[in-house]
Chains A and B, each alone.
Chain A
Amino acid sequence: MTDHAIAAGANGGEMQGATHLVPLRVYFTIFAVLMALTAITVTVSYFDLGPFNTVVAIVIAVTKMMLVVLYFMHVRYSSRLTWAVVAGGFFWLALLLFMTLADYITRGPGWLRYG
């Protein structure tokens, strides 16, 4: 159905269209930010923020994950379909965590203690 000659000619010697060539300095910047966030997360863990220690650690980890997913894994430059699949995966995980937590929290008082 498709004219293979034209399609192949357009792609034959060229880069694969879907794979954006990300400039090296973007990769180096992301790397530096990831290292900085790692140093921050270790440093912050030595300060007593009560229950917020965990919140901060998770927020930093999620930020690092987003940077890896968007830039190293090229999702920033990918199709909507890819975005949807990636988002779907994390949405499923959020459901698992949330619903399991909802089960425990609603088992009556005293389960969750702020240690």
Chain B
Amino acid sequence: MSGAHAAQHPKLQHHFDNLEQQFEASALGMWLFLVTEILFFGGLFTAYMIYRLSYPEAFAEASHELDIVLGGVNTAVLIGSSLTMAMAVWSAQLGRRSGQMLFLALTIVLGLVFLGIKAVEYGHKFEHGLVPGPNFRFEGRDPLHSQLFFSLYFVMTGLHAVHMIVGIGIMAVLFAMAYRGRFTKAYHTPVEVSGLYWHFVDIVWIFLFPLLYLIDRHGPVVH
């Protein structure tokens, strides 16, 4: 080999000056996508805000149907998965293949645990007729507007769950790449950038949990 390209890293694309700049561009691209995700979920949170302020009692009553233990455990599971994801990135930064594989696998497992618990919760709601539609039955004071809560519950947690499934798929691909030794100290952009996506999905849940599960838990709603 000769010339200026003798020591060039194979992953460095020609339109970037160096790997640092290339990584920065990739991360920025992912952040721009995450901003569109803020738009995506933001619309749902806005709808939630307006309808909760419009029908506070109906929302509080409906919220009490959610299992606070399962929701809390799921919150802990996702926070844990963000920790394992950060450690996967850390392992990638140090070029440690076994660490990458371990923490990516743990992240996947925690993600699956989350989805499993969500499936249990959804099953419970199907059984108790809390799914909006012709079979909706809710013994509350304002079932019409409690149904609104459940609509938002299913759409928001459902959309979040879809993001989790995609995230788990991405982690599986990363695991395969890590297994093949694709990530080194010099180049591990896919791990970092996927980590950003995973943490974002965790942040969405960080807001979903208190807003859906913790409305007026301090006693009967009396007016």
Interface residues of A (CB under 8 A from B): 2-5, 7-19, 21-22, 24, 27-28, 30-31, 34-35, 38, 41-42, 45-49, 53, 57-58, 60-61, 64-65, 68-69, 71-74, 78-79, 81-82, 85-86, 88-90, 92-93, 96-97, 100-101, 104, 111-115
B7 touches A9 (CB 8 A): yes
- Given known contacts A13-B185, A16-B19, A16-B186, A81 and B38 CB-to-CB distance under 8 angstroms: no
> Contact residue range for chain B?
35 or more
Expressed in whole angstroms, the Cα–Cα distance for A111 and B85 within the complex equals 44
Complex-state Cα separation, A58 to B49, whole angstroms: 12
B27 touches A89 (CB 8 A): no
CB closest chain-B residue, reference A111? B54
Give the interface of B toward A (CB within 8 A): 3-9, 12, 17-20, 23-24, 27-28, 31-32, 34-35, 38-39, 42-43, 45-46, 49-50, 53-54, 56-57, 60, 68, 72, 75-76, 79-80, 82-83, 85-87, 89-90, 93-94, 185-189, 192, 195-196, 199-200, 202-203, 206-207, 209-211, 214, 216-219, 221, 223
A42–B39 alpha-carbon span in the complex (Å)? 27
CB within 8 Å: A-B pair count: 195
**Shortest Cβ distance from B97 into chain A, in angstroms?**
16
Task: Return B217 CB to nearest CB of chain A, in Å.
Answer: 4
A-B contact pairs, 29 of them (CB 8 A): A4-B7, A5-B3, A8-B5, A8-B12, A11-B12, A12-B186, A16-B186, A16-B188, A18-B20, A21-B90, A22-B90, A24-B87, A24-B90, A41-B210, A45-B210, A45-B217, A61-B206, A68-B82, A68-B203, A69-B203, A72-B82, A73-B196, A74-B192, A85-B32, A89-B31, A93-B39, A100-B49, A104-B50, A111-B53
